[in-house]
Chains A and B, each alone.
Chain A
């Protein structure tokens, strides 16, 4: 191709690229507008709520005075701040440990394709698919102090019944149990799909070298599954930080705040009392967002690294 021929082609190509950009953004426009109106704006409103001194009256009229970081100070200085923080950490940490280890054990078990394994694995998804209110109310009744089936089972093996939902020392454990139950399917499915990508030759080689099942897991499966495990844990962490429904339905965060996490505390401040405290409620919510985004960014970094 000579220069003379190439010259007229270049602007045409540029024009085509430009019209291509127009079309590309025309297809994106609805989502962009949507994100601004229904993600960015509510989040901005929430930030604004946390920086003003709101009462019920000024909430409706929208003329609350600016108060800087007062709401955040109120929240952090509150005597319940550190207990709620610890509940959040305990709820998230303990849930993750159990969800992940049980999910991993089940994934390894189901990976040895046996008869019915695919069907049974599908049935394991049920807890994850049920509406949270269904799971939470079922667990509430199962954990009922007097008539719950869990206490019946404990009594029949000679253990004293426990006031699962009504005693401050057990309420957090109870909501963790329900949350672990709901979270196992997710861990199982993701780890199982990770296991599928490990070539079977590696196991055959390990078996030839005389490795037993336990060694094969710790020396082969676990190291090779590390990237998938990290992603599962980080995503699980972000999901668990936002858990609200289960706790609110089972215990309302009580008794005496014993099972209150940041998510439920934030809701309780804004909607759960007779005199709503929208400012502090929004402040707690924003602290929660920061926590979620830190781990969210870590997750995205891990995922990019795995792809490349």
Chain B
């Protein structure tokens, strides 16, 4: 088969795969009156911005909360998992293998069950419906992943580099902060990107722990739209398009980190 034919087939397959994404964008521009047309409108040539106007009017607070929760989750995740990764990779703690095993297993626990446990605890502590509570819960998705990524990455740092710092008189903490962290920038970026994306996308914790709050994330914004039997599908899909921006940016700006993150958990190089 010629290369050009293969490219053609590849483009067609990608188009089929991404059709739902195209459809989301298309519907977001479709007028209410055209929404139930038969045949449906395939290209939004005479589209409307009504949907996006509704997003700006109604969804901005939700987007703000999601941004805040996402950034909070990133900070908490990196602060917890980078030192742990360094320890497991370079400081050879006794019992480190057992801890790595626990972290692997932790990743397999269904979020919905964690959510139930958190609900019972938050109810008692009175921290339901708070952004901080959501940050804490969302970080449980990313912390085990973060430790595994940091461990894998920092194992590759040459020990000579660390020894040199120690000979120069740097303590373990100083070495970590001034030598290990700066050379681990790629790992920090990967973990931060995924922590943000997962917190931004989280629905399970949001709906159980933040369902009645005044500060709700965008996933609940969309969910309320659907739940209210809202027939304004252009507004729903416009919100969905906006909610997809972080994922799109991630793919454009940090493609190689994304592929690395997907395979990190599954296959060791």
Whether the pair A39, B140 counts as a contact (CB closer than 8 A) is yes
Within 8 A of A (CB), among B14-60: 14, 17-18, 20-21, 23-24, 27, 35-36, 38-40
Q: Tell me, yes or no, whether B176 is within 8 Å of chain A by CB.
A: yes
Q: Tell me, yes or no, whether B216 is within 8 Å of chain A by CB.
A: no
Chain B residue nearest to A25 in the complex (CB): B93
Whether the pair B10, A296 counts as a contact (CB closer than 8 A) is no
Q: Tell me, yes or no, whether A90 is within 8 Å of chain B by CB.
A: no
| Size bracket of the A interface | 35 or more
Whether the pair A235, B116 counts as a contact (CB closer than 8 A) is no
* B124 shortest CB reach to chain A, Å: 7
B contacts with A: majority SS: helix
Interface 1/0 per residue, B223-254 and A, CB below 8 Å: 10010000001001100100110011011000
Tell me which residues across on chain B come within 8 A of A27, comparing CB atoms.
Answer: 83-84, 86-87, 91, 93, 172, 176
Q: Tell me, yes or no, whether B118 is within 8 Å of chain A by CB.
A: yes
Interface 1/0 per residue, A40-74 and B, CB below 8 Å: 01111110010000000001101000000000000
Whether the pair B116, A31 counts as a contact (CB closer than 8 A) is no
Q: Which of B96-104, B157-165, B181-189 contacts A (4 or more CB under 8 A)?
A: B96-104
Chain B residue nearest to A246 in the complex (CB): B203
Cβ-neighbour of B11 out of A120, A147, A286 (below 8 A):
A120
Cβ-neighbour of A285 out of B112, B124, B265, B268 (below 8 A):
B112
* A122 shortest CB reach to chain B, Å: 5
Whether the pair A49, B233 counts as a contact (CB closer than 8 A) is no
Cβ-neighbour of A42 out of B9, B18, B114 (below 8 A):
B114
Whether the pair B223, A249 counts as a contact (CB closer than 8 A) is yes
Chain A residue nearest to B20 in the complex (CB): A138
Whether the pair B110, A106 counts as a contact (CB closer than 8 A) is no
Known contacts A120-B14, A138-B20, A193-B267; is-contact A35 B201 (Cβ 8 Å)? no
* A224 shortest CB reach to chain B, Å: 14
Cα–Cα, bound, A63→B205 (Å): 26
Known contacts A24-B96, A131-B201; is-contact A267 B83 (Cβ 8 Å)? no
Chain B residue nearest to A264 in the complex (CB): B112
Within 8 A of B (CB), among A109-167: 109-110, 112, 114-117, 120, 122-135, 137-142, 146-147, 149, 152, 156
Whether the pair A245, B204 counts as a contact (CB closer than 8 A) is yes
Whether the pair A190, B263 counts as a contact (CB closer than 8 A) is yes
Cα–Cα, bound, A106→B17 (Å): 11
Whether the pair B117, A34 counts as a contact (CB closer than 8 A) is no
State how many residues of chain B have any CB contact under 8 Å with chain A: 96
Tell me which residues across on chain B come within 8 A of A20, comparing CB atoms.
Answer: 91-92
Cβ-neighbour of A149 out of B40, B147, B255 (below 8 A):
B40
Chain A residue nearest to B241 in the complex (CB): A134
Q: Tell me, yes or no, whether B132 is within 8 Å of chain A by CB.
A: no
Known contacts A31-B80, A124-B14, A249-B223; is-contact A293 B114 (Cβ 8 Å)? no
Whether the pair B116, A186 counts as a contact (CB closer than 8 A) is no
Q: Tell me, yes or no, whether A303 is within 8 Å of chain B by CB.
A: yes
Q: Tell me, yes or no, whether A300 is within 8 Å of chain B by CB.
A: yes
Interface 1/0 per residue, B110-123 and A, CB below 8 Å: 11111111111101
Q: Tell me, yes or no, whether A266 is within 8 Å of chain B by CB.
A: yes
What 10 pairs between A and B have smallest CB-CB spacing?
Answer: A42-B117, A131-B201, A24-B93, A242-B110, A24-B91, A27-B87, A129-B247, A296-B108, A31-B84, A114-B6
Residues of B within 8 A of A (CB): 3-4, 6-7, 9-11, 13-14, 17-18, 20-21, 23-24, 27, 35-36, 38-40, 79-81, 83-84, 86-88, 91-94, 96, 99, 101-106, 108-121, 123-124, 136-137, 139-140, 143, 147, 172-173, 176, 197, 200-201, 203-204, 207-208, 219, 222-223, 226, 233, 236-237, 240, 243-244, 247-248, 250-251, 255, 258-259, 262-263, 265-268
Residues of A within 8 A of B (CB): 20-21, 23-28, 30-32, 34-35, 38-39, 41-46, 49, 59-60, 62, 106, 109-110, 112, 114-117, 120, 122-135, 137-142, 146-147, 149, 152, 156, 181, 184-186, 189-190, 193-194, 228, 231-232, 235, 238, 241-242, 244-245, 249, 263, 266-267, 270-271, 278, 281-282, 285-286, 288-289, 292-293, 295-297, 300, 303, 306-307
